[in-house]
Amino acid sequence: MRTIIYGPPGTGKTHTLLGHIEKFLETTDPDKIGYFTFSKNAAQEGRERAALKFRLSMLDDLPYFQTLHSFCFNQLGLARDQVMKEKHYKELGEKMGLEIEGTQQDEDHDSVFYSKNPYIQLINIARSKEIDPVKYYHLTDNQQVSLNKLKIISEELERYKSEHGLIDFPDMIEKFLASGEPPKLRVMFVDESQDLSLIQWKLVRRIEEAATDSFIAGDDDQGIYKWNGAHVNTFINLEGTRKILEQSHRVPQKPFALANKIINRVRNRVEKKYYPKDTTGSVKRCQSLHEIDFTNGRWLVLATANYMLSDIGEVLDEKGLYWQRRDATPRVKNIYEIIQKWNQLKTGIPMHFNDCKKIFNKMNKNWDKKLFKAMVKDQFYDIDTLKNKYGLQTEADWQEALDELGDEDIRKISKLIKTGEDLSSTPRISISTIHGVKGNERENVVINTELSGAAYDEYQKNPDDTHRLFYVACTRTENNLFIIEPQRKKAYDI
């Protein structure tokens, strides 16, 4: 029997699934339960929770708590050195006399692939839709791609993999569907189902056929990965016993009202009635980021395209704010750690060679390079020893001592220290594309509504995907929502 669980933002969809899993584990062998997710972090959470409560081994007792690609990888008995990597794409490009940047897997979402090369990206999306790349080319308006060049790269990619005994991510599912045998499960769970591609749905159905019961969870209103091959209509049209989670524990009333206004513009969706949490929250409209006081609290600043994030970062720098791009470690944080090490060294605290090397790398004229090479690894050194034997030539403050730093870095870090930001901690402010922030939430959310030219054209032709995108953005907030009014015509009407 199939149960479909619809989980609007903040309603605890994954928590609900894990609760069902715990009930089954009371009477079912753990290797008869499958928990398949779009997110590696979600799969890990499921394993950890089940292992902790029932004293199980995450590796031995829970073999089917994983992403769909990991499932195929393990079922086929593959090794990591059999999978195409960046170096392989580079080598392929060199042989063809072309510059090919390969496919990069998203750090958390196992099914999301990025490639700066439009040909590799088109080939992967076409295969996720089970369409020949050339046929898919004719179905899309892709002005970045030459048909003849696409044919050549597609053919040479397959030849290269065959010659070197390699597979890529789409191959994993294709090979399992062709020859793999699904395990006979008592129950299978699938999370974030709205993000599955057609070929992933085919895999889900193959596993489901061998299972007694299934729980398929997701939210079609949050289906924002169509650009990567996701087929939200399959989830919308899925048949089974439907259950809607009705209480959001995240979204307050005013942002909730705006989000619902947006999502009700979508023509093809599953109607869901759910309720906001019992706080008012706020929605404020601003002309620019300069109007917003970022002094307190945790923040998400969102835009629709990566190139827009650079401008956002510049404004935050002008305001003297400490921020990070998605989950990347800020450059200033790494520098500040070296500053702290230098200050500790100056007070007489011995430093390990590795820390001394980090300090050395930020010095130019203030440390003799030849004498530094005489240092012994795995040893600790105080500042007097470094000056007397190994070429350190200063005890000045960091702004002068770390003379490899540029004036801009010095100015920025000095300003952040003066404003009282804790540069040793994770920044309070994170900037991201809306696609990159799904699953995240903060007390305060800022949304830039401007669209790229291509995104605006798509919005005019097929607005549903853009409605879903801004619905996801609005429902990231736990309290306050800030809408930046567009300065150009090509923007979303929020």
DSSP string, 164-226: HT-B-HHHHHHHHHHH------SEEEE-SGGG-BHHHHHHHHHHHHT-SEEEEEE-GGG---G
- Averaged pLDDT for residues 483-492: 94
Residues whose CB falls within 8 Å of the CB of residue 435, separated by 6 or more in sequence, listed in order:
224, 225, 227, 469
Q: How high is the mean pLDDT of the chain? A: 91
SS3 57: coil
Q: What is the pLDDT of residue 44?
A: 84
- Averaged pLDDT for residues 165-174: 91
Note the pLDDT tens digit of each residue in 423-471. Answer: 999 999 999 999 988 778 999 999 999 999 989 999 999 999 999 999 9
Residue 100 has pLDDT above 80, yes or no: no
Residue 355 has pLDDT above 90, yes or no: yes
Q: 343-363 burial, b for 16+ CB within 10 Å, e for fewer?
A: eebeeeeebeeebbebbbebb
Identify which of 342, 343, 332 has the alpha carbon closest to the alpha carbon of residue 416: 332
Size (the chain), residues: 494
> What Å distances lie between residue 465 and 142, 227, 282, 314, 455, CA to CA?
18, 9, 25, 29, 10
Are 22 and 50 spatial neighbours (Cβ–Cβ below 8 Å)? Answer: yes
Give the pair of three-digit tokens for residue 269. Answer: 């969706």
Note the pLDDT tens digit of each residue in 20-78. Answer: 999 999 999 999 999 998 777 778 888 887 888 788 887 778 899 999 989 999 999 99
Are 261 and 475 spatial neighbours (Cβ–Cβ below 8 Å)? Answer: no
In 232-297, the DSSP E strands lie at: 241-244, 282-286
> What Å distances lie between residue 74 and 78, 199, 275, 360, 419, CA to CA?
6, 18, 41, 44, 50
Are 305 and 435 spatial neighbours (Cβ–Cβ below 8 Å)? Answer: no
pTM for the full predicted model: 0.86
Tell me the C-alpha distance between 56 and 51, whole Å: 4
Identify which of 378, 335, 375 has the alpha carbon closest to the alpha carbon of residue 367: 375
Note the pLDDT tens digit of each residue in 101-158. Answer: 655 554 444 544 456 678 888 888 888 888 899 988 888 777 778 899 899 999 999 9
As a whole-number percent, the residues of the chain with pLDDT over 90 amount to 72
List the end-to-end C-alpha distance of the chain, in Å, as a whole number.
40
What is the β-pairing status of strands 380-381 and 351-352? antiparallel
Give the number of other Cβ atoms within 10 Å of residue 410's Cβ.
16
Note the pLDDT tens digit of each residue in 253-282. Answer: 999 999 999 999 999 999 999 999 999 999
DSSP 412: H
Q: Out of 132-141, 266-275, 378-387, 475-484, which region has the weakest mean confidence (pLDDT)?
A: 132-141
Q: What is the pLDDT of residue 115?
A: 61
Q: What is the pLDDT of residue 342?
A: 98
Sign of CA dihedral 119, 125, 128, 130: negative
User: Tokens 């019961």 correspond to what residue?
Assistant: 213
Tell me the C-alpha distance between 467 and 473, whole Å: 10
Tell me the backbone φ, ψ of residue 478, rounded to 5 degrees.
-100, -10
Q: 254-288 burial, b for 16+ CB within 10 Å, e for fewer?
A: bbbebbbebbeebeebbebebebbeeebebeeeee
SS3 455: helix
Q: What is the pLDDT of residue 112?
A: 43
Tell me the C-alpha distance between 231 and 114, whole Å: 18
DSSP 288: S
Sign of CA dihedral 456, 462, 467, 468: negative
What letter represents residue 395's amino acid?
E
Tell me the C-alpha distance between 265 and 232, whole Å: 16
Identify which of 6, 435, 464, 31 has the alpha carbon closest to the alpha carbon of residue 192: 6
Q: What is the pLDDT of residue 104?
A: 55
